[in-house]
Amino acid sequence: MELFTPRLLLRDFQQNDLACVKELESLPETYYFESSQPNIEQITKKLQQTQAEALHSPRTSFHLAITIRPLDRVRGRVSLTLINESIREWEIGWAIHPDEWGKGFATEAAHRVLEFTFSDLQAHRVVAFSHAENTASIRGMKKLNMQQEGLLRETRPWKNGWSDEVVYSILDREWKDS
Ligand SMILES: CC(C)(COP(=O)(O)OP(=O)(O)OC[C@H]1O[C@@H](n2cnc3c(N)ncnc32)[C@H](O)[C@@H]1OP(=O)(O)O)[C@@H](O)C(=O)NCCC(=O)NCCS
């Protein structure tokens, strides 16, 4: 699967992405707002699972590499997962290599994935969850016209304590109007 944006190619992961994936997933910045960081074994296994999921039909999970054209080097990832089939609800998530932060790549990639989700997958809702202090991620959600619909109190173990989590969403009718 391939999705193009003005600057990016979003595509399924390949086995020869492993070195780039290991680098991205091993950076402390990538997991700063998460409760734990995967080890090399977990990263390798996740890449294999991701490739296996890409063979499912119909697909209920898309983990796509973000590459900056024309280079075919993984500089981030965007994921899309069916979380409630009965209401056609999908969850989106993203990460970009810190060297590429602040250039609009996360928003550009997520915008294309939302377009695909509403047009091709006929989604009704797309949701995103974020650590309540993850300003960059929340700013991206707002730029995508996602609306905050909740604050989950102390749902995330973080730094020997708890952190709150925000939930944002966008509906199919809002996407059409945006
Ligand atoms: C969150 C993340 C994906 C954003 O990637 P990005 O490509 O830098 O995002 P964009 O460039 O599209 O920026 C989106 C908005 O956030 C702003 N932003 C980016 N980094 C920021 C920061 N550190 N603090 C405040 N705002 C920030 C951008 O300026 C932009 O807003 P603007 O257009 O109004 O200026 C990136 O920081 C990341 O990978 N973080 C680690 C993984 C992660 O936290 N993923 C999200 C889990 S919910």
Give the pLDDT confidence score for residue 56 in this predicted structure.
93
Give the pLDDT confidence score for residue 178 in this predicted structure.
84
Question: How do residues 17-68 score in pLDDT, each as one tens digit?
Answer: 999 999 999 999 999 999 999 999 999 999 999 999 999 999 999 999 999 9
Closest ligand 1 atom to Cα of 29:
41
Give the pLDDT confidence score for residue 164 in this predicted structure.
98
Residue nearest to atom 3 of ligand 1 (CA): 95
Give the pLDDT confidence score for residue 84 in this predicted structure.
98
C-alpha R_g of the chain: 16
Which residues lie across from 61 on neighbouring strands? 81
pTM score > 0.85 for this model? yes
Residues within a 6 A CB radius of ligand 1: 30, 33, 93-96, 101-107, 130, 134-137, 139-140, 143
Which residues lie across from 167 on neighbouring strands? 129, 150
pLDDT at 112 exceeding the cut of 90: yes
Q: Tell how far the Cα of 33 is from the centroid of ligand 1, in angstroms.
A: 13
Q: Tell how far the Cα of 56 is from the centroid of ligand 1, in angstroms.
A: 31
pLDDT mean across residues, the chain = 97
Residue nearest to atom 21 of ligand 1 (CA): 136
Q: Cα(178)–Cα(166) distance, rounded to whole angstroms?
A: 22
Amino acid, single-letter form, for residue 74: V
Backbone angles phi, psi at 151, to 5 degrees: -125, 115
Compute CA 50 distance to the chain's CA centroid, rounded to the nearest angstrom: 13
* Mean pLDDT within 159-170: 97
Question: How do residues 67-95 score in pLDDT, each as one tens digit?
Answer: 999 999 999 999 999 999 999 999 999 99
Report the share of the chain in percent with pLDDT over 70.
Answer: 100
Q: Using H for helix, E for strand and C for coil, what is the string for 29-48?
A: HHHCCCCCCCCHHHHHHHHH
Residue nearest to atom 32 of ligand 1 (CA): 139
- Pocket-testing residue among 27, 94, 148, ligand 1, by greatest number of atoms within 8 A of Cβ: 94
Q: Tell how far the Cα of 38 is from the centroid of ligand 1, in angstroms.
A: 21
Q: Tell how far the Cα of 135 is from the centroid of ligand 1, in angstroms.
A: 7
Closest ligand 1 atom to Cα of 130:
48
pLDDT at 140 exceeding the cut of 90: yes
Give the pLDDT confidence score for residue 66 in this predicted structure.
98
Q: Tell how far the Cα of 58 is from the centroid of ligand 1, in angstroms.
A: 31
As given in the structure block, the two tokens for residue 154 are 């102390």
